[in-house]
Each structure stands twice: as structure tokens, then as C-alpha cells.
Amino acid sequence: MEFNIDNYKFNNAKTLDKSTLAYSPKFGKGINETISSVHIPVEIYYGDKDILNGLKWTEGLDDVWKQNAEDDPNLLWQYFGGQKGFLRSYPANAWTEAKPDLYDVRRRPWYTQGSSSPKNMMILVDTSGSTTGEALQLMKETVKQLLETLGENDFVAVANYSKTEEIQDTVRYVSECFQGFVQATHRNKQVLKEAVMDLQASGMAKWEDALEFAFKAFKEFEQDEKNSSMNNVGADCNRIIMVLTDGATAKDEAATVLNRENPDKQIRIFTYAIGKTAAAIEAVRWLACKNRGYFSKIPAMGAIRTTVQEFFTVLNRPLALAYKQFSGWTSVYEDALGLGMMITLTLPVYNRSTDSNNQTILGVMGVDVTTAEMENSTPWQKLGPNGYAFAMNWNGYTVFHPNLKAQLGYLKDPPNVDFLEVEHENPAKIELRKMMINNLTGNANIETFVISKDLRYASEKNRLYFYTGIPNSTFSLGLVMPDYSIVYPEVTGYQAKQLLEPIVADADQMQQGVHAPLWICNSKDIVVDNYNNTNDTETFPPNPVRDMVNGSSSCNDHLVQHFLWDYVTTQNVTEHWKALSQAYKSATEVVFVSTNSGLTRLYPHNMTEQLLNMANPRENQEYKRAIDEDHVLFSAPYKAVKDNDPNTTGPVVSVMKSISMTEKGGNTYKPAVVGAKMHQTYLTELMNNTSQGQCSDLSLTLFCYLIDDGAFIVSTNQEKDEIGRFFGATEPALMMELYNGSSPVYNRVQNYDWQGVCKQLQLKTSAGPRSFFIPSIPVFEMLTVKWWTSSVMWAYSNFNLYNWIFESAKSFAYAQQDPGDGGSEKNESCVTEQVQYYFTDVTSLYSELVCENCTRQYSVEKITGTNLLLVVAEPPCGPECDPLSPEPKRGPYDTREDPDVPAGGPGVCEASRSPRYRLRPQGCYDFDDREEYDKCRGCGLMAPSILFILSIQLAVSLLGRVLQQG
């Protein structure tokens, strides 16, 4: 039976009545759990009979989906993507895609990966003289759209063919960077797109040469696929040639090549007649139909998007004929419905009708799991502030990781960010990556650079890595922690209502000087914006202290007990702070203690702004750095440029010290950090007093600087608007000496941020030698741990520390390209280069900076027990000397500004020649003798049996088993 648009109604997601929707915190938007909604691409006519028939026979999914949601309340979106382009999803929701709405389910990563096996694709572009003008422009855009249909399990090569007197090679790869097949990652596709845009039309096209070139390339690449040293390069499955041309010459020469090189038609050929074809297209059609392919015409730009994806209908024939329950996990991608980065469990749906020849699938069923949900299933709360969980897939690409910026929407979808691109690469990490890809279980102690989240600091630390494969999936899970997180307190017996009720009763809880993080009573990465969509005044703003007192089911009992333990243990801290001398009180703006449980206490209690700045110790960079060190950590707010304010007194400086304790077995645990926000005037006075007046403010005799372990100025006797800047920007010649001199005080580590976000492209003579008094700065009274060891340590001496990781390890299983809005400045993905500096073992240095006619003496001394370096130097030599010293490199620098760097970023060409280790997806469906090859110019779908709906139950069952292993 057929339906027309007049007698069949469906719930159109684009026009859904929002009054029928109720806000859901789980989905972060309004939903209707009684129905599903439908999205149809803008270029598809709503009244198309195939669309209407498809919508009619998928109505029965609603009852199945509702039952699934009742059986598993944690299920997120459930949906079916039809081969004709419609999407039915449950629960119903209003479509929020920005206009123009270019969403097509058949182009989404979960659909393309779930509907066919991986492929090696050779794209041949006709650049003969007849393509000059519109035809060539159409071909360029068609190549770009073809590339967008490929995912990380596919491999691609692009070549153009035409012969001129100047160019002897009839066929050549479009990119000098890629002389063969490369993995279809976002960066590699960017290189190819850029190369294609530079193609010029000239000469004459010879099909036989182009086909010879393609078959030879496949033979060579097949050898690479079998070569173990090539690390499982290639799809080792579908092999296809895409021919783009504006017409054809005689087919006899091409037939000779095909009979010799492709007699069994193992390599499919798809052809596209582009533009107002300059010659007859019969040969173009023949080429596809005789080689298990498909012929399409692209007369204009508007036809490109829908036409290029027609080859999927052909590629999924062997899968449909095999009729396999080909369930699988996708790569990570961004959810079009707003839940962030996710993976999908997919299942192709087949036509079970008895009168169907079953030549193609009907579509793909999907069930989502967000990467945040995966991460929240790990024991993150036991890993400590510098521990974390991560996951990677069989390509070595990151699924979730604290350094993966895709979670913030910065990356192209899908991101294809390798594990070695979010961590500092070294041989031990390369081996770890291989073990995880192979789904092995083990652990490793790795010395690595730890880079701060703002990319300003680096330090060499030991980290413990534990890893295991996740059953029934293509993912592996890793847990990382410092050695002081191996032991963990076991805490029970505290009553939240008894302890915290006085705080809840206070109308202004901030005045209590106590703060609890949101994640105690919600997920680790709670999205606070979600609460803005509810009218429930009882739950907004979120208040974890109130929730703990009320015994809310959203609170994690383990986290609550740890918080209450810290709350009781630190109750006497305020009295200690009140007893500090007036001199120290006047030197500080606020003092505080923050703990691993998320508790923050501060004094004075009315410093609410400071409290909010430290609202989440686990995500606070200063806290994470301080607890990783045993010395006192100083840091000033970063400043990229001077603000030229001569009256400034300078910013307050953070001063922090970790608290360490050791259990009987010798293992160290760090429960907290104590610190202060210190006024700049106190630091400069202290520096001047301890130097016997030589470092007085704005001295013309000596230039004095306190700089930290990253070479950023913390204090100076010069202009205060220098504080917070990179020392190399203020004193370039001196910084070069500290890094590159005969006794360097700093080392540096150079790296790339593969997830960068960039704007769119559019001398005095010395008076002679003198000696310096090098002061030593004492560790300040408020940072001593005596109060902790004397008044608080008794509480920690009785707790149960246990080596949790070795007991339990076995039980744990790029900026999005913006199309612009009429001229406003936009961001886009890019690769940036940056440098971090860190201390060497040199503790003191007395030397001189020699210029052409000037000698500048300087002295350097590390301040014991801190991360500070005191630099005392004579005044700069003057303009005739200092400008000769280039500013030391720090960055970040946009690598796109380097003409020698290809579009995909530095090293992309070399990486294609030495690919990293990977595993191919299991299962290949690329050939079936029953396939009807004559369906090469269009085909229709028979109305299916409703029995296919039951296939979703398999998907949910598989999903449940995988999550249980997590």
C-alpha cells in the first residue's frame, strides 16, 4: 500500500509543537516519551512514496523503544536511519540544527560505519581541457563530498588524469605529500581537499592510462596490507575506483585494461558524469555497470550531496545478501541532538519480506552511549586530582581523555585524535598504545612529561598506567595515576544531616567559608546549563550541600563520606588562621585549604569570589600542580602582553603547598593542599629586604625578578605590569642565556597541540665586575604544615588506607569548522606549536651576557623549597645590543602560517609513510555471487516485514553486556 502526504501524518521534528515536550535533565532538552519524531533532509521531498512507506512501516518501533526505555532507564537516544534518508528517533524532540539544515542521516559516521564494510577508495579526476570552467569546479566539490563519506577505517588516494606536452605523466597523485593510499582521517582529508582545489584543466584524458594507474596502485597497496611491518594499514576489504569525468572517448582501450586487470570484477568501479557532459556518456555508464559499480550524473552543485552517497547502496549489497547480525561500535563523533561526544552501537536492518530479493539493507538501527557516560563508569573518584581514565579504539584514536578538546566542541567531527597526540609521546607510550589496541590487560610505570592544561608548564613525573580491553567492543580502557594515589582512604559512618544542616540553614552559605563541588551529587562533568531549562526552583541553582543533607539519591555515597571526613578533619583550621600574626594577615588576601574530596575552606569567610574561583579543586590547575609537588608552589595570573598601567600594584599571587602523609606500608597519600592569595607588595618588600636594599622598587641599578618553573614572572622590582608575563618576552637576551647558555637553568620541551583553535585565515657599557648578594626567601608561616600535623593528623592516623588499584584493576574493564554568519570572525581547527620550560639541576649561576661593546652581569639562585628562581641582573645594555637577541620560543604558534607545513599539520606527510599500529574492524562483506550487477543506475525498495523491528533487542542486549564490563 502507498500513502500520500495528504492522508499520512507524522511527527516532524522540525515543526514539533514544543508545548508537547517536557524538559529532561538526562537528554538536556525537551522530549516526549510517548512518541518518536522524524527528520527528513531538506533536499528530499516529504511526499516521496518511498519516504512515506518507510515512515509507515517504522511506526511500530515506538512500542519497542518505549519498552526498551522501561527495561533500561539509562538508555539514551534510540533511532533508525533509513536508506532513503529519513531518521526516526525516540524520544521525540524538536530539531535544533542551525539553518540551513544540511543534516542527512546517511552521511553520519554511525550510519556509514554501520551500513557497509571498510574500503580502499581510489578517486580519479578528469582534468582534461574539456573540463575547464564549471565541470572542473563541480568535480572539485564532488571529490570533497566523497572524502566526507569516508571514516577512519577507510583508506583513500586521489589522482588526476590528463596528458599535455608539458606534463609527461598522464596520471599523477594530486598531492605530493601522499603518493598512494592514506587513512581517511580528518587531517589527511584536509591535505587532499587543499590539493584538489589547485587542479587545473588542460590536455587530453586517456581512460586506459588512468585505469592502469589505479590497478597498479591497488596491487602495490595490497602488498602493504599483507606486510606486518606496515602495522595493519589498509581496509583489506572493499576496493573501489571512483571515476569523475565530463564524458568519454571510445571504450575499447579501457575494455582491454579491464579484461586484463579486473576479469573477476573484484574491484568495483563507480562513475560520475559531471556537468553538461561534453561527450557521450554511454561509455561512462558502461564502465560502472560492467564492474559491479554504479553510474550517476551530477549536472549542478545542488545534486552533489545526495548523489555522491549513492554508492553506499551498492556497497552494502553483500552485507544484505549475507544477512549477518553485523553489530558494531562506531568511532567517536558529536551527537547532532546535543548530548556531546558519543559512540553508537549499530545494527543493519534487512528486508525479510518473502517477495524481496534482499539486494540492499533497509537502514541502520542505533543506540547511543556518550563518552561522558563511559568515563563516569570508571573509578575516577579514586584516581586523585592528577589521575584520570581514558579510552582508545582499535585505530589508537582517543574516545575520551581529559586532554581531548572534542568534548568542548573544538574539533572537527569526528576528531581522529590519536592517544599519542593528547599525551607526550615516548617509546613506552608507543608500546602501551599497541598493547591496548590488542585488547591486552597489564600495567606499566612510565616516566613522562606532564603538561598543564593551559600548556604553560611541563614537569617530568612517573605515572602508573593500568589497562584492559572492554569485552564485546573495539575499545580499551586505561587508568592513570601518580604513585601517591595507589592508596586511598576508606571512610564510613559520617552523617551528613548532623554535620551540614547548620550550613544549609544559613541563608548565605558562602559566608560559612565552605564549598562542595557539584559532582558529589551528580556526574563528574555536570552540565550546569541544563538547569536553566527547568522551572523547578527547588533544584536551581544546584546545591550539593543541601542534597547531601536531604539524602538525595543523586549523591554518590562514597564521595559524600569522603567529603564529610575532610569536613570534620579541617574544622579547626579557621581558628589556626585567626591566630596568625597581623603582619601575615595584612600580606594575604585569603587563606584556604582544598581537599581531594572537593571540599574548600577559606578565611576570611566573606571572600566569596575567591571561593568560586576554587570551586572544583580537581579541575583547578593550580591545585593539580601543587599536589603533584612537595615544595611550595608560587604562580601569578598569566598575562600575554603588558597593560601599560604605571599605577598598578601588581596581581595577587597564589602560594600553595601539598600535604603528604605515609601509611605503614610506606605508601604516600596526599589528601589536600593548603595555600594563600598573597599581595604583590609583600613579595617585593621581602625581595628588597633580603637583598639588603639592592632590589628596591624601580631600581635603575639592579633588575630583580622572581620567576617560576615555567619561566613566568611572579614578582619584580621593575614595572608591575610585567608580572605574569613570560620572562623571555620581558628579557629575551637573558632568557636565552638561562636556556641556551653554558650552564642552562632551564630545559624545554617542544610539542604540538593537534587540537588547536585558531582564527580563520582570512647598548650601555658595564661599569665593571661586581658581586651580588643572593637572598634566600623563607617558606612563609601560613604554609607550614605544623597545624596539620599537630591538630589534624590524628584524624588521618586512624583511617584505613588500602592499595585499591591492585585489588580492583581486573574488575574495570578539532574547532568545528564554522561556515560563518556574514562577516563575523570565526574560529577553526588548527595545529599549534608551543614550548614549555622546566628547571634543570643547576641551582645557582653567576655569569655575564656579552654583547658587541657591553657586558651585562647577572646572578641566578633557586629558592630552596619553592618553584622560584631569583634573577638579579645589571640593567640592559641598550638598543644596540638587546634587539639582536630573538625572543625565546614559547608559542602557541599557528602552523598554518608556515608555508612549508601542509594543510593537515606538521608531520602529516611523514606519518603517511610510517603509519602507526592499528587493528582492522572484524568482518568483511565485499563480494557475493548472488549480487545483481545490472542494478547500476537506480533501484527501489520493497515494503518490508515488520519483523525487522525485533532486531533492536539484540542491539540493546549487546549494549548492556558491554556496559556491565565497564
Answer whether residue 866 shows pLDDT above 60: yes
Query: What was the pLDDT predicted at 938?
Result: 45
Q: Determine how many CB atoms are found less than 10 A away from the CB of residue 11.
A: 18
Q: How many angstroms separate the most distant Cα atoms in the chain? A: 102
Mean pLDDT value of segment 924-941: 74
What Rg, from alpha-carbon coordinates, does the chain have?
Answer: 32
Higher-confidence residue of 139 and 701: namely 139
Query: Any idea where the domains of the chain sit in the sequence?
Result: 117-310, 496-527+543-691
The phi, psi pair for 679, rounded to 5°, reads -70, 145
Among the listed residues 28, 65, 24, 74, the one whose alpha carbon sits nearest the alpha carbon of residue 963: 74
Query: What was the pLDDT predicted at 802?
Result: 52
Q: Which residue has 598575562 as its cell numbers?
A: 639
Mean pLDDT value of segment 553-575: 87
Answer whether residue 224 shows pLDDT above 50: yes
Query: What was the pLDDT predicted at 886?
Result: 61
Most confident of 2-6, 152-156, 636-640: 152-156
Sequence-distant (6+) residues with CB within 8 A of 305 are: 43, 102, 104, 107, 145
Among the listed residues 239, 268, 120, the one whose alpha carbon sits nearest the alpha carbon of residue 181: 120
Mean pLDDT value of segment 448-460: 91
Sequence-distant (6+) residues with CB within 8 A of 693 are: none
pLDDT band at 957 (very low <50, low <70, confident <90, very high): very low
Sequence-distant (6+) residues with CB within 8 A of 626 are: 633, 656, 657, 658, 673, 675
Among the listed residues 253, 167, 175, 177, the one whose alpha carbon sits nearest the alpha carbon of residue 210: 253
Mean pLDDT value of segment 957-965: 43
Domain 496-527+543-691 has CATH 2.60.120: no
pLDDT band at 152 (very low <50, low <70, confident <90, very high): very high
Query: What was the pLDDT predicted at 780?
Result: 37
Query: What was the pLDDT predicted at 725?
Result: 93
CA distance 653 to 634: 7
CA distance 912 to 183: 8
Q: What percentage of residues in the chain have a pLDDT greater than 70?
A: 80
Query: What was the pLDDT predicted at 755?
Result: 79
Answer whether residue 80 shows pLDDT above 70: yes
Separation of CA 351 from chain center: 38
DSSP for 212-278 reads HHHHHHHHHHHHHHH-GGG-S-S-SSEEEEEEEES----SHHHHHHHHHH-TT--SEEEEEEESS-S
Mean pLDDT value of segment 458-473: 93
Task: Write out pLDDT tens, residues 300-328.
Answer: 888 898 889 889 989 988 988 888 777 88
Answer whether residue 674 shows pLDDT above 80: yes
CA distances from 809 to 379, 523, 558, 597 (A): 10, 22, 18, 21
Most confident of 41-50, 72-81, 540-549: 72-81
Q: Any idea what DSSP says for residue 12?
A: B
Q: Lowest mean pLDDT: which of 54-58, 299-303, 340-344, 785-789?
A: 785-789
Q: Are strands 268-274 and 295-298 parallel, antiparallel or unpaired?
A: parallel
Please give the angle made by the CA atoms of 193, 341 and 22, to the nearest 5 degrees. 125
Among the listed residues 315, 369, 320, 160, the one whose alpha carbon sits nearest the alpha carbon of residue 244: 160
Query: What was the pLDDT predicted at 435?
Result: 97
Higher-confidence residue of 939 and 912: namely 912
Cell output for 896: 598554518
288 neighbors 267 (Cβ within 8 angstroms): no
The reported pTM is 0.85
Answer whether residue 270 shows pLDDT above 70: yes
CA distances from 617 to 14, 155, 517, 634, 931 (A): 42, 44, 8, 17, 61
Answer whether residue 406 shows pLDDT above 70: no
Mean pLDDT value of segment 94-118: 83
Answer whether residue 530 shows pLDDT above 70: no
Ramachandran region, residue 516 (left: φ > 0; alpha: ψ -120 to 50; beta: rest): beta
Q: Lowest mean pLDDT: which of 17-31, 39-53, 790-804, 933-947?
A: 790-804
CA distance 424 to 749: 10
Mean pLDDT value of segment 377-404: 91
Answer whether residue 565 shows pLDDT above 50: yes
Answer whether residue 905 shows pLDDT above 80: no
CA distance 479 to 378: 8
- Does residue 263 have a cis peptide bond before it, meaning omega lies within 30 degrees of 0? no
- Domain 117-310, architecture per CATH: 3-Layer(aba) Sandwich (3.40)
Q: Which residue has 541553582 as its cell numbers?
A: 541
Q: How many residues does the chain have?
A: 966
Mean pLDDT value of segment 525-531: 34
Task: Identify the burial level of 767 via C-beta atoms within 10 angstroms of its C-beta, where 0-12 means exposed, 13-18 middle and 19 or more buried.
Answer: exposed
Cell output for 64: 519497542
Query: What was the pLDDT predicted at 434?
Result: 96
Beta bridge partners of 90: 78
Q: What is the mean pLDDT of the chain?
A: 80
Cell output for 209: 592510462
Q: Report how far apart the first and last C-alpha atoms of the chain are (Å, whole number).
A: 46
Task: Identify the burial level of 681 via C-beta atoms within 10 angstroms of its C-beta, where 0-12 means exposed, 13-18 middle and 19 or more buried.
Answer: middle
Among the listed residues 283, 304, 282, the one whose alpha carbon sits nearest the alpha carbon of residue 135: 304
Separation of CA 41 from chain center: 28
Cα torsion through 558, 563, 565, 570, rounded to 10: 170
Answer whether residue 856 shows pLDDT above 90: no
CA distances from 198 to 155, 180, 191, 193, 589 (A): 22, 18, 11, 9, 60
Query: What was the pLDDT predicted at 773?
Result: 36
Answer whether residue 536 shows pLDDT above 60: no
CA distance 621 to 623: 5
Task: Write out pLDDT tens, residues 386-397.
Answer: 999 999 999 999
